[in-house]
Chain A
Amino acid sequence: MSFVINNISKSYEETRALRDVSFETNEGELFGLIGPDGAGKTSLFRILATLIFPDEGDASVKGFDIRKDFREIRKILGYMPGRFSLYHDLSVKENLEFYATVFGTTIAENYDLIKDIYAHIEPFENRLAGKLSGGMKQKLALSCALIHRPDVLILDEPTTGVDAVSRKEFWDMLKRIQKEGITILVSTPYMDEAALCDRVGLIQHGKLLSVSKPGDLRFDEAMILYSFRCKSGIYEYLSKIRGLQGCSSAFLFGDEIHLLVNGKKEAEELERAIKGWNVPALSLKQITPGIEDYFMALMKSEKHDDLMSEEH
């Protein structure tokens, strides 16, 4: 097992960034950590990258303890922080060379591993890293994180702020890196990327809500998901729908509302109620849920529980 995380908790003054998080990843797995901003993804990654210590719990990377064997971990780990952290005033090649030497290796030695990625930026080898575009910066950062052929790779929101085409390209690269036997732990706020991982963990408010394979995500048999569209005033309808009996959750999804109903009878009632509103250009139909729907529903219920428990 590459990453073993046991009951990790971490607080910053008032905020509890991580609460009792535990999970394990398999050898060579591409594990995704999905959650909104401020969920605790970065804190967890910084703990695994030996940059901060947890308050409670323990963790290990490839069998090395994050407290005792942090020196060993730093040799086998590639870490790409969310913010571009290479030297702006060194060129592309100088950055890569620098990280290769620091890890006691050379570009030539591991060139085959980064070839696919580095080929994109090689024509700009002599350009200063600070002058690269966002997508190229990200490719350089990934190249630098891989240049010492790490056993495990931690990528903190690598696709944030990257256009859709580059995002797809980036995930293709990750798949190829994974084939080299490198375990990858990646975080993202984009739920559609969850489907590309072997397994995903859903994290919110510092709590790990679930870990599962993307294909295994299923609603309860009785749950029915509707898509609601209308011409205008969608926010008003959202609050109206939320007020309806039998609607267990409703959320905006692009320009439509997805609403979840528990039970066939309730669904019929709800359908009748909405039709009674005489919504202009209404489209209301049952749909098959995607990963996003599953997560939204899960997060929604968690938030609800949180509020309840804080009131008590």
Chain B
Amino acid sequence: MRVLLTLLRKEIKQIFRNRMMLPMIFVMPIVQLTVLVYTANLEMSNIEVVVVDQDLSQYSRGLVSKLDGSPFFVVKGSVASYEQAEALLLSDDVDAIVQIYSGFEQNLINEKEADVQLIINAINATEGSLINVYSNMIIRDYSNNLRTELSGFAGQGMALNIEIIPSYWYNPLLDYKIYMFAGILVILVTMIGMFLSALNLVSEKELGTAEQINVTPVKKYQFLLAKLLPFLMIGLFELAFGLLIGVFLVDLPIRGSLLLLFSVAFVYLLVTLGLGLFLSTISSTQQQMMLVAFFIWVTFILMSGIFTPTESMPVWAQKINFINPLSYFMRVIRMILLKGSGFQDIARDFYGLLIYSVLILSLAIGNYRKTT
């Protein structure tokens, strides 16, 4: 016990003497949470469109001003020919072309039907499909208005119309920021867990100080535990700090129990710390360790469901997610914060992480060699 305390005291002294550490602990969460939440945003606004209005009628102008009036689109102008519009799209000056053929108004009045062509730059597929959804929504809305107008008075010639009124549970305003904030909190906690402790251990190997420890009676579990505990505390502190930023910055709801959240975070940190320590036992330089850790980290983040739900991934990817600790915590943190889930709802993930932590920590300790 005295040895462990001595080791812990040494680690804590070293952590706070490291000039990079305090900025990392305080600046990193602020930057990540404030900048990334607004930039990693799937809501689109300011989609720039150019209009080719060959009808130049009252109805066609009505449609254009409807688009312009929506928060999503900015009509950058109107050109006479499709070729001109295409040139703008190719030079990346606009994101989409709206082409209204001549006879648009005529067809609407006579045949109650008219075509509008939409050409979308879909280099970014997500962006492309979002533009499609938004513009369809606006055009449908406009045609509904017209229908009422054209049918004269109510009841006559009115087509049967079923409208769906969605109700968005847990996030009624579909506020993307809240969803992302929870996800970025996970990234933050993971970074602390996986990188800091691992870098610390590998640097002891690199500097030869680990070897000096190896010839002392210090047991390896004591040595590794002393590496793990300070970063566990820093990780939990980061979570609390991040939540605080969230509450003030984006009105992050905390519907579930904080105690439950921190308990899961505790176990989750054991997993990531264990993973980091394991990686540092198999690498001999910081560079090696960083490369491997970075590869794993990026893969795990992209697969974790931070942007897209894991359920929509292919089955094999969902199977891989079984060993991805981020996917567990990503799910749990959103359930607790946004939905207010209790222990029963997240028990599976909690026990999963618990088993994971035991396995990976035993692997890390077992793999650390005082003698080779």
Contact = CB atoms under 8 A, between A and B. Distances in A.
A101 B215 contact: no
A140 to B, nearest CB: 12
A102 B215 contact: no
Contacts of B218: 102
B217 A85 contact: no
Interface stretch (B2-10, B31-39, B108-116, B247-255): B2-10
Interface stretch (A76-84, A114-122, A225-233): A76-84
A77 B14 CA distance: 26
A127 interface: no
Contact of B215 (A79, A88, A90, A104): A79
A210 to B, nearest CB: 29
Nearest to A141: B212
Interface of A: 49-53, 70-71, 74-75, 77, 79, 81, 83-90, 94, 98-99, 101-104, 144
Given A50-B371, A101-B2, A101-B3, A90 B13 contact: yes
B203 to A, nearest CB: 10
Across the A-B interface, give the 4 residue pairs with the lowest CB-CB distance, nearest first.
A85-B208, A85-B212, A101-B6, A79-B215
B214 interface: yes
A87 B209 contact: yes
Determine the main DSSP class of B at the interface with A: helix
B124 interface: no
A152 to B, nearest CB: 12
Given A51-B372, A70-B371, A90-B10, A85 B211 contact: yes
A52 B372 CA distance: 5
B209 A89 contact: no
Contacts of B14: 87, 89-90
A88 B6 CA distance: 17
A101 B356 CA distance: 34
Interface of B: 2-3, 6-7, 10, 13-14, 17-18, 207-209, 211-218, 370-372
A53 B372 contact: yes
B216 A50 contact: no
Pick the most buried of B7, B14, B216: most chain A CB atoms within 10 A of its CB. B216
Given A87-B10, A98-B10, A101-B6, A79 B17 contact: no
Contacts of B371: 50-53, 70
Contacts of A74: 215-217
Contacts of B214: 50-51
Contact of A79 (B2, B3, B209, B212): B212
A102 B3 contact: yes
Contacts of A101: 2-3, 6
24 contacts: A50-B215, A51-B211, A51-B215, A51-B370, A51-B371, A70-B371, A71-B217, A75-B217, A81-B208, A81-B211, A85-B207, A85-B211, A85-B212, A89-B13, A89-B17, A90-B13, A94-B10, A98-B6, A101-B3, A101-B6, A102-B3, A102-B6, A102-B7, A104-B2
B11 to A, nearest CB: 10
**Residue among A85, A88, A99 with most chain B CB within 10 A:** A85
Between B3, B213, B217, B218, the greatest number of chain A beta carbons within 10 A of the residue's beta carbon is seen for B217
A52 B208 CA distance: 14
A187 to B, nearest CB: 16
Contacts of A86: 209, 212
Given A52-B372, A71-B217, A86-B209, 7 more contacts: A50-B370, A51-B211, A51-B214, A79-B212, A85-B211, A88-B207, A101-B2
A88 B213 CA distance: 14
Contacts of A102: 3, 6-7, 213, 216-218
Contacts of A52: 371-372
Contacts of A49: 215
Contacts of B217: 71, 74-75, 102-104
A268 to B, nearest CB: 55
A99 B209 CA distance: 12
Contacts of B7: 102
A74 B218 CA distance: 9
A168 to B, nearest CB: 26
